[in-house]
Structure 1
Amino acid sequence: MNSHPFPFFSSGMRLDADLHLPDDDGVGAPYPVVVPASGYQGLKVIHPERFARALTARGYAVVAFDYRGFGASEGERGRLVPQEWAEDVRAAVDRVSADDLLDAGRIGLLGWGMGGGVAVAEAAEDPRVRAVAAVNCISDGTRSTRNMHDDASWRSLLDRVARDRGQRAANGRSEITSPWDIVRLDLDDRTDGYVGEELYKAPGFGSGVSLESADMLLRFSPQEVVHRLAPRPLLVVHGAENRLHRPEEARALYDHAREPKRLRLIEGAGHTEWMFDEHPTFRELVEELDGFFAEAFPAAGPVSAGAGCAGAGG
């Protein structure tokens, strides 16, 4: 993999990004491009770079970036707003479309977790995106967040968000809270363990989040716009045992989408405990993604056809 800095601006803020290219001395240029949209508290050095290592070996260019306010990107710290993240992904598409090494006619989005919904929201308004894959996604912010909480913690979160609205209106500032007050991990042992052992290795992971961010998440509903992707294809992949973002999120996104669409539930898999480069489940996912994007993109260049995609629909 050949990597170099690839910064771009979104809403006037400079976002830190890297362009990862196949190690082929430019033979495959202009390359088809996949832009990974990271999930909650996501950073480019976690899953986006993991997908880059896997997909560049198959002939794709991959742009991995930190959202505004995260990593080395400019922006307000603690502000984690999926609606604004969709603007950051759109800016990444703008940047890709202007680079001669990259094929503006073969751009795909790959969303992970909350980023799955972000990718859908962006592509629904951006015809330059040829295909969207959503992995372990959220489809509706209120439903997915409610499903992470017990009754007491849910009531507490709603009360805190409501009080924060008044405080913001009065003084222009939102309270910063633990990210795990919003996305509650402790009810999902497999995800909680993986996050503690693996994701905290990334500097800045686990930083505080504003209650305004929670307010905006509860208003975020990608399932309401996913129908606008058609006739561009959608691939939805979800762990069948995912207890963080439950499989009903995948089914709801799939049900609201129009053809062409595919749904795959990975038996025995949770949310993220299998996200290691050499894990068989991750390698199987990469095969599926390769087949999906190769089928969705116009024929050009040496992109692997992969093993194709299995699942419902399409």
Structure 2
Amino acid sequence: MEIITTKLTNGIAVTLRKAAGQDPKPIIILCHGFCGIQPILVPVFAEAFTQAGFTTLTFDYRGFGDSAGERGRLVPAMQIEDILTVIAWAKRQPDVDATRLGLWGTSFGGCHVFGAAADNPDIKCIISQLAFADGEKIVTGKMKKAEKAAFLATLDKMAEKQRLTGKEMFVGITRVLSDDESKAFFEHHKTHFPAMDIKIPFLTVRETLHYKPKDNAAKVTCPTLIILAEKDNVNPPEHGIELYNSLRSRTKQLYIEPDARHYDIYSGDYFVNIIAAQTAWFKQHL
């Protein structure tokens, strides 16, 4: 396996893992989750796919990890633009078969792959794992009516202040997370990966609230595998089922890993099960 790291002209940091062999290889682009950076979680998937004969590419979104850009600015539409930029670069690389390009995304990235693949003939197949279908349900789904109304009013006031003055509140990542599992994950990993210890706009919550990946899924026609964790409390399984039902593609599959929580599938037996299903999908459709 040959590993190449570089930065694109717009400052996006990428890591290309080239599979052994001389023939042009199909390529899989892996898209990270919420505030994720390349060294965490995705390498194990990228290495497994590369060992299976695919060239793979991981990257940091603008403003995160080693990429340039305003620190912590997280806008779904901008991150989808980053994926499309990476796709365009990947297609120009030697030893890559640009006609056999797949997308893989996890959590927030699992949402973004639908936006990148929507009405996009460059994408031959996708895998989305642990994604959500509707940001409003994720952010306010457990709130009572009055609580939700007050929360939305506060966000609208903050957005108006930002528009008028250019000023906004930046907070630690765990301040915008609503579940204890994700808070514990970020607190643990920022000790070992200082690049994760950043502040992000509190209005990221508003961006997530207005994000509807199911609408993009309705525009996806390529073969799509959706991976769910049965006991996911971050992005509950019903969201993945809603994404599956929204897909325009006639070639689609739903895989549910029994007993797994959101962060379980990156290691151990859960990973072994998941990677086997995902590798088989890419071998069939790329």
**Identity between Structure 1 and Structure 2 (%):** 22
User: How far apart, in 2, do the equivalents of 1:229 and 1:263 lie?
Assistant: 15
**Is contact 2:139–2:205 with CA below 8 Å preserved after alignment?**
no
**Is contact 2:32–2:42 with CA below 8 Å preserved after alignment?**
yes
**Is contact 2:129–2:226 with CA below 8 Å preserved after alignment?**
yes
Counterpart secondary structure, 1:229: coil
Counterpart secondary structure, 1:18: strand
**Is contact 2:264–2:270 with CA below 8 Å preserved after alignment?**
no
Aligned length: 284
Residue deviations 1:191-246 (CA, integer Å, cap 9, x gap): 5444443465222214221133222221111101212211x111000101000111
User: How far apart, in 2, do the equivalents of 1:71 and 1:192 lie?
Assistant: 19
1:139 CA displacement: 1.5
1:106-145 pair list within 5 angstroms: 106-145=100-139
1:263 CA displacement: 0.6
Which structure shows the bigger proportion of residues in helix conformation?
2
Aligned residue among 29, 41, 51 for 1:57? 51
**Is contact 1:157–1:182 with CA below 8 Å preserved after alignment?**
no
Query: Alpha carbons of 1:171 and 1:274: their partners in 2 closer, same or farther (altered >3 Å)?
Result: same
1:76 CA displacement: 1.0
Determine the structure 2 residue equivalent to 1:295.
284
Determine the structure 2 residue equivalent to 1:105.
99
User: How far apart, in 2, do the equivalents of 1:121 and 1:285 lie?
Assistant: 23
Determine the structure 1 residue equivalent to 2:78.
84
1:1-314 pair list within 5 angstroms: 1-9=1-9, 13-22=10-19, 24=20, 27-147=21-141, 151=144, 157-186=151-180, 188=181, 191-198=182-189, 200-230=191-221, 232-258=222-248, 259-276=250-267, 279-297=268-286
CA RMSD of aligned residues (A): 2.0
**Is contact 1:132–1:235 with CA below 8 Å preserved after alignment?**
yes
Query: Alpha carbons of 1:207 and 1:156: their partners in 2 closer, same or farther (altered >3 Å)?
Result: farther
1:59 CA displacement: 0.7
Counterpart secondary structure, 2:123: coil
Query: Alpha carbons of 1:136 and 1:175: their partners in 2 closer, same or farther (altered >3 Å)?
Result: same
Instruction: Return the letter of the residue paired with 1:168.
Output: Q
Counterpart secondary structure, 2:205: helix
Query: Alpha carbons of 1:267 and 1:164: their partners in 2 closer, same or farther (altered >3 Å)?
Result: same
User: How far apart, in 2, do the equivalents of 1:204 and 1:163 lie?
Assistant: 30
Residue deviations 1:87-122 (CA, integer Å, cap 9, x gap): 000011000111122110111111100111101111
The TM-score normalised by the length of structure 2 is 0.92
Determine the structure 2 residue equivalent to 1:303.
none
Instruction: Return the letter of the residue paired with 1:140.
Output: D
**Is contact 2:22–2:95 with CA below 8 Å preserved after alignment?**
no
Instruction: Return the letter of the residue paired with 1:16.
Output: A
| Ranges in structure 1 where 5+ consecutive residues have no aligned partner | 298-314
1:80 CA displacement: 0.8
User: How far apart, in 2, do the equivalents of 1:199 and 1:153 lie?
Assistant: 31
User: How far apart, in 2, do the equivalents of 1:109 and 1:237 lie?
Assistant: 13
1:154 CA displacement: 5.7
Out of 171-180 and 39-48, give the one that drifted further: 171-180
Instruction: Return the letter of the residue paired with 2:235.
Output: H
User: How far apart, in 2, do the equivalents of 1:77 and 1:98 lie?
Assistant: 28
**Is contact 2:225–2:253 with CA below 8 Å preserved after alignment?**
yes
The TM-score normalised by the length of structure 1 is 0.84
